[in-house]
Structure 1
């Protein structure tokens, strides 16, 4: 009798597994896997474009929260228009808008706890607003004045807040993704050492363009293998910096990569703020389950504005396409319809809110623009706990240059002028 005909032998042979793919079954059919074999991951939506809840399992948030979130989206939208124009007037060196992606940011931030740690890319103004970042905070950073918590050291739109547990944005693409995985691992270790600490997760935001960087893959792999409590939130707006998604990847978006790394994953309609909020609430609970695990949310949206003030998106997409998306569906209009369906909003309230918010933005704009820059010595501080002899030497050298060429440098707008270098 052939050994393989014995039931016990056949069972043993069929159960042999390799350490690199423990759940893979053997087959005698030689076939290759093709992407077309698998259907695209569905996009979760709980609110129709007309503003009606279509998922019966979703409990609508309190009306006060819905109104607050709507005004936060309006604030971001209005600030974007004003600051974009300010850059074009030469009053600001650089700016990036969030038009079309306000729902992803405000919706997800509303589901996080204040103790949770946030790593942003650069289009998350809605996250900052929802967590309590003020117009003065925004404007102080944009104008790099003495009220800027970053002390004027970063280019515009690179916000950060220790009080709100939001790490400062940095320019290099995707660097925050492995940092987020590492921070989540640190939170996990802290709770293992002290179980009385409150449960916390890390939320990491990035675009589909950043997902083409190696840092993205390294971060997801380490988060999966170390079971880190991190929520990766990808804003897939269709164009990255200037490249359509068809030129970015050939797979099923970014969500398919999450399952490939063994990560709980969902694709959600980024124009549906309640779907984003609901997905983030569930993701946070999953991230804290069994000591920690990563979750990936791919929020589908459309970037209505240019990538930044340095970009002309009509060089790579049709103007009519952008206008069509503006009219057809966007997170602000959909949430407004939801509020109108509940008789919480109307044209009069819309006009009053827009007028009030515009005045508040312009007031903060005007005050920040007039504010002095940080002291000159601030550029030498906060590098080390105490200034090194080398840094003190650099500070003295700068003062000598300013003394030698007083007509070449305007230090009048800096608090204390050149005299601040010797205080």
Structure 2
């Protein structure tokens, strides 16, 4: 019999809330985190808007010395992980540290640090590059620093699969616990890509929306969509074997029951036609969960707002769910948060956990003009109260990486 894997803690720092509770309240009311960019001067940039974390003071939330030795993506990861750890009620003195792991992914890692230190190298010479440059820049350091802080000596990995990083991290953590390799794993993703180089690069590849209107920039599934809005933040879950959670009388938010991972093997940035790779990931996750397409109550789509992604993801959902696809609410919460790249699946997993717990389907805000090629129920503009049992979350990354997780409303059965 497989070990059941439950969620006992959640943490989030996002463009619409700097903790999980505030974030979820923002999601429920359809709050937008998209605003004019403030991280740098956008005068020469085509893209003027982004989804920034607001009022984030790492020196207050973390040890001041510690914060200075971390890139922003790592600071965000630490704050969200500490929130999730506190929320779970775990006590390090009662944990078997060798069966306590961390798997937190990031698509890019410390890009702001790389840009800053490269400028220092060019302007002031090699002797002025920080000795902390390397540990601040590398994308595994979120997992490493969280493990150091919490004393987690079990499996400690950092999965890098672009925009699927957090979802793959959660899925692989689920499998590790289910297979008996760990009792507890802190997992999810963190990203801080709002830098001049990243915005310029994504703009050059025509991935970002050029619309300066904050209400029409991130509009997944809308016919006028023209790209995604870049975002930042972190979303973290505490996963735990059911037996371990019950032994300590932990509060249980929900359960992870299925995971699928595939590759398009098609193109560096474009999804495969018809969303074939994403469809296989969903099919694998359903099989892993031992449920049928009819059992899914809600789909949190990858839904970036790029023309190809939304069209092909819609086709993928229809190929897996057939006629049932039209009866399942599908929303893109990136309409509110922007696209957090490697952290997207982390905050979207938090959304699914809360949606199941409260019986609430989040909206796709900013939806105005129907696209005949995107004809599912995208829950336009207002969320809904609805009894939910299983939620499916998709993440699709550059390189053809596809990840799907399925979460279940908590019940003893």
- Whether TM exceeds 0.5 here: the answer is no
TM norm structure 2: 0.27
Bigger CA radius of gyration: 1
More strand by share: 2
More helix by share: 1
